[in-house]
Amino acid sequence: MTADSHDRFSVEGQVAIVTGASSGIGKAIAEQFAAGGADVVICSREQENVEPVADGIEDSDRPGEALAVECDVTDREAVDALVEATVEAFGGIDTLVNNAGASFMANFDDISPNGWETIVDINLHGTYHCTQAAGEHLSDGGGSVVNMASVAGQQGAPYMSHYGAAKAAVINLTSTLAYEWASEDVRVNCIAPGFVATPGVASQMGVTAGDIDRDSVDRTIGLSEEIADLTRFLASPASSYVVGETVRAAGVPQIEESPQS
């Protein structure tokens, strides 16, 4: 790889907002960007949850700086304050990573109106609020939005109808907004992870990141760092011709073997 081609994969000098960054995928993304020389603003609903992530980045040898901001992505005033804090601290926004999300498993008949609205509010409306609030600054010099969806939004998922519906909407929003914002030199893309060994998945499935060999191809559960690598690529100039796409990161596809004739 030449020096020039290596530079195309760089996020050095960028300013990135990463929502839902207190743990798991969001935390890994923030750390990956900071390691690459980007300044990161990370948020979650509780300052005490996200502050240690920022402190960890600041105390490390990663060249990027980190700022922790308490923000509920469903609260537009809080989101506007997040954007203002980012611009005030670092002078602009180059990349927005809409990672904040939530879910619980339940039969469709058992999901209350409040439960449905809460999941849609965080996963879909939160993406809307953050993207619209950051849009003006992203278009100043060209920028990138990376939305986090799910394979549940591509093919459905039993007992996660609320989550799957919200993530399907995020996928559609991605392609639609990519078309609208292309003339502003803003690229909008999406990632649809399958099972990832986050703390939440570990508690439900009993599989931790330490159990996973990244060098193994034959698997259907991934690492937060693998999603972070893909996010960094989509935010870098190397993905300049990738616009409006949803990249599935779910390991080996599940294909039914046909009986031999």
DSSP for 198-214? -HHHHHHH---GGG--T
Residues forming the active site: 163
List C-alpha distances in Å: 130 to 87, 104, 189, 212.
14, 23, 15, 33
Query: DSSP 3-state helix, strand, coil percentages of the chain (rounded to 5)?
Result: 50, 15, 35
Q: Are 167 and 193 in contact (CB under 8 A)?
A: no
Stretch (H or E) spanning 66:
strand 66-70
- Structure token digits, residue 104: 């619980």
Q: How far is CA 125 from the centre of its chain?
A: 15
Q: Are 237 and 8 in contact (CB under 8 A)?
A: yes
- Structure token digits, residue 47: 């300052």
Q: Can you tell me the distance from the alpha carbon of 196 to that of 201, in angstroms, rounded to the nearest whole number? A: 7
Using DSSP's 3-state secondary structure scheme, residue 245 falls into coil
Using DSSP's 3-state secondary structure scheme, residue 148 falls into strand
